[in-house]
Amino acid sequence: MVFQSRFIMGWMTLLVSFAQVAPSIGQDMNVAWYESFFQEKNKNTVQDALDKGMASFDDAVSVGDKAAEAKALNELGLIYLIRAHDFEAAIGYFISALGLEDTLDLKEGQIFTYLAMAHMSAVAGEYDKCGELLQTAWDINTKLNNTDVRVLILNEMGKINAAKGRADEAFENYGEVLAYKDEINNPKVEALALFNMAHLYTVQGKYEEALTHHKHALSIRRSIKDRKEEAVSLNDIGELYRLMKNDEKSFANHKVALEIRQALKDKRGEAESYNNIGALYYKQKKIERAANNLQLGLQAGLESNDQKEIRKSYEYLGACYEAAGDYKKALEYKNHFFDINDMMQRELNAQQLLDKQSSYVISKSAIKIQKLEEARREREAELINQKRFRNFLFVLMALGLVIVGLIFYLYILQQRSNKVLKAAHEKVNQQNLELQELNATKDKFFSIISHDLKGPLNSLSSFSNLLINHTESLSMEEIQMLARDFDKSLKNLFALLENLLEWSRSQTGNIEFSPEPFDLGAVLEENKSLLKAQAENKRINIVNENAEELVVQAHKNSVSTVVRNLISNAIKFTPEDGMITLNLRRNGADALFSVTDTGVGMSEDVLNKLFRIDAKLSTKGTANEKGTGLGLILCKEFIEKNGGRIWVKSKEGEGSVFYFLLPLTAPV
């Protein structure tokens, strides 16, 4: 059976490996990698970035790593797109990357290439083309089920829909982003979606809804200590309050945003905040304060080369000095405003021309992209056919396995029959052992009856003998005392019978040793009183040294039987005028009980046979009392079923000490 299992597992592993053969994805491209190209980079120049990208491409080509080659092409395309603004070069690299990714079936690479081309289309104002490319990326990712990529695409779709004036579709896109917030566990993405929704509400004039979303985004950015974006949120909230004509709250938010930007040394942000504060002061006709803030905004704008904020500073400074009556400075700043406005208009015209050229480049490349898309779909259909063929081979090989299994069937059947016979033989042996144990248990039970009943019956015999032979010499009080002792012995005898019946039920599985709290010291005293007459017959003094109440968690009746047996054995093996000492004390989480006698003790050989059913031991007492040798076996069984432990220390001629431990109840 083992041989067949290993044989089948080996073939199954081979089949699974064959059925799951697919090109490995070695590009290591993910959302963080893609978004890193859109972050501010000041460490190296555009040329340095291009040189580094080309070096990565050459290395990949030299070692024949096509996946790395496709990644390098994507990196070069993104650098040309975002930093060099060379759309023609960028689209060339993206198309080359798509060709490799389609050949290697690199789904992740295809997604990010389509996302990059979608971004390029959005920059060129080709929103419809951008939407098509984003949808292609979405369709590819549907098979991969990458939540981070899905959220990235939804954010981009939201931006495009907002730019096209489709507010409802944009809200739906951002709402889906928020629905995935628990899966992606990226608070920045959640905050950005809320921020974008706030801007959509602002455009619609729904200022209260916009404020709610801005504040939610702000709280998230504060919780993750994103100081730069926190300042952006505060600035936009300040502008929103300005639209709501709440200048006090507008000032407060702009000032906090300015403090954060000053701490971050964000000159572009400082320029924006100073200008917004200056505009508010100008609105309130606090011309000097407005001019001071606008001058600081102008300085920060010049340092960061932010033409938009520089133009705003010039515009408001001209208005401030005109309001203050300083027409010379007002004219100077207005001239600066017109100059930079003209320059920005020229740049805008140039950018529009560039966008038209970019649109032409994108349109010219659309045919190539379409062909690549068709090739991708054809390849997917081919892969489906290959998968079907592999599945067909898999079925054939599975049938081969069935045939091999049939060949081994008779061999396995033989092995199984041998195992069944062996198991049956072992079961018969086990049943024989259980029968022997049951017989031993039966013998034990009947022996214990005689062992445990002898003491009380001797007491009863003594009392009846006194009443029969000495009635005339006994006073009425003595007869009443004997009658009371007689009654007490009968009751104790009845209790013994009950205990023995409980033990017999435990042997047949009809009783559970359910623990309960009880005072072990009280049990000692009860059994001492019970066996007092038996001890007095041999003039043996029983001393109970227990001085405190110790509550144990055990089955009371079985523990009482153990105590009674141990004391009875001590009486049996202690000569006349001897002493038996009962001791009970706390031992950590347990109660430790001991019975010490001044009896005959035991040899090493006798000690080794105690507590063993397979080595029956019967020793006569000091007064030739007969025993079964099974009382201690009963004691061991009861103590262990109560979660305790029993042991003995003894030397021949020096007496014996029997101990047992039982768990104390936990303090309340």
**DSSP string for residues in 409-425:** HHHHHHHHHHHHHHHHH
Does residue 558 contact residue 641 with C-beta atoms inside 8 Å?
yes
Q: Does 542 fall in a domain? A: yes
Q: Does 99 fall in a domain? A: no
CA distance 85 to 160: 20
User: Within 10 A of 608 (CB to CB), how many other CB atoms are there?
Assistant: 12
Q: In the numeric block, which tokens belong to residue 633?
A: 């076996």
From 92-101, 175-184, 359-368, 408-417, the region with the lowest mean pLDDT: 359-368
pLDDT of residue 311: 93
pLDDT of residue 360: 57
More confident site: 389 or 665: 665
Mean pLDDT of 618-634: 58
pLDDT of residue 191: 92
Mean pLDDT of 608-619: 65
pLDDT of residue 557: 85
Ramachandran angles phi, psi of 210, nearest 5°: -65, -45
Find all residues with CB under 8 Å of 193, minimum gap 6, and list them.
155, 158, 174, 177, 178
Does residue 531 contact residue 496 with C-beta atoms inside 8 Å?
no
What percentage of the chain reaches a pLDDT higher than 90?
38
Q: Is the pLDDT score of 616 beyond 60?
A: no
Q: Is the pLDDT score of 457 beyond 80?
A: no
CA distance 570 to 568: 5
Q: Is the pLDDT score of 626 beyond 50?
A: no
Q: Does 535 fall in a domain? A: yes
Count: domains in the chain: 1
Q: Is the pLDDT score of 4 beyond 60?
A: no
Q: Is the pLDDT score of 5 beyond 50?
A: no
CA distance 98 to 103: 9
Mean pLDDT of 545-571: 88
Q: Is the pLDDT score of 6 beyond 50?
A: no
Q: In the numeric block, which tokens belong to residue 313?
A: 């500073």
Does residue 200 contact residue 162 with C-beta atoms inside 8 Å?
yes
CA distance 376 to 8: 38
Q: Does 582 fall in a domain? A: yes
pLDDT of residue 431: 80
pLDDT of residue 213: 95
Q: Does 588 fall in a domain? A: yes
pLDDT band per the 50, 70, 90 thresholds, residue 18: very low
CA distance 359 to 361: 5
CA distance 503 to 496: 11
Q: Is the pLDDT score of 2 beyond 70?
A: no
pLDDT band per the 50, 70, 90 thresholds, residue 76: very high
Distance of CA 612 to the CA centre of its chain: 50
The burial class, CB within 10 Å (0-12 / 13-18 / 19+), for 565 is buried
> Which residues is 592 bridged to in the sheet?
585, 661
Q: Is the pLDDT score of 480 beyond 60?
A: yes
> Which residues is 648 bridged to in the sheet?
658
pTM: 0.52
pLDDT band per the 50, 70, 90 thresholds, residue 241: very high
Give the residue carrying structure tokens 């599975």: 398
From 241-245, 327-331, 420-424, 508-512, the region with the lowest mean pLDDT: 508-512
Q: Does 650 fall in a domain? A: yes
pLDDT of residue 433: 80
- The dihedral over CA atoms of 617, 622, 542, 651, expressed in degrees to the nearest 10, equals -60
CA distance 213 to 253: 16
H, E, C per residue of 6-52: HHHHHHHHHHHHHHCCCCCCCCCCCHHHHHHCCCCCCCCCHHHHHHH
Q: Does 599 fall in a domain? A: yes
Q: What Å distances lie between residue 508 and 25, 438, 441, CA to CA?
A: 68, 9, 10
Q: Does 358 fall in a domain? A: no
> Which residues is 661 bridged to in the sheet?
592, 645
More confident site: 84 or 149: 149
pLDDT band per the 50, 70, 90 thresholds, residue 21: very low
Mean pLDDT highest for which of 348-352, 435-439, 568-572?
Answer: 568-572
Mean pLDDT of 579-588: 92
CA distance 175 to 611: 77
pLDDT of residue 628: 45
User: CATH number of the domain that 558 lies in?
Assistant: 3.30.565.10
Mean pLDDT for the chain?
82
pLDDT of residue 622: 58
Distance of CA 398 to the CA centre of its chain: 39
pLDDT band per the 50, 70, 90 thresholds, residue 8: very low
pLDDT of residue 637: 84
Mean pLDDT highest for which of 309-313, 403-407, 482-486?
Answer: 309-313
Does residue 598 contact residue 576 with C-beta atoms inside 8 Å?
no
From 112-116, 281-285, 520-524, 610-614, the region with the lowest mean pLDDT: 610-614
- Identify the domain containing residue 623 by its residue range: 514-663
Q: In the numeric block, which tokens belong to residue 663?
A: 């768990």
More confident site: 599 or 455: 599
Q: Is the pLDDT score of 358 beyond 60?
A: no
Mean pLDDT of 262-285: 94
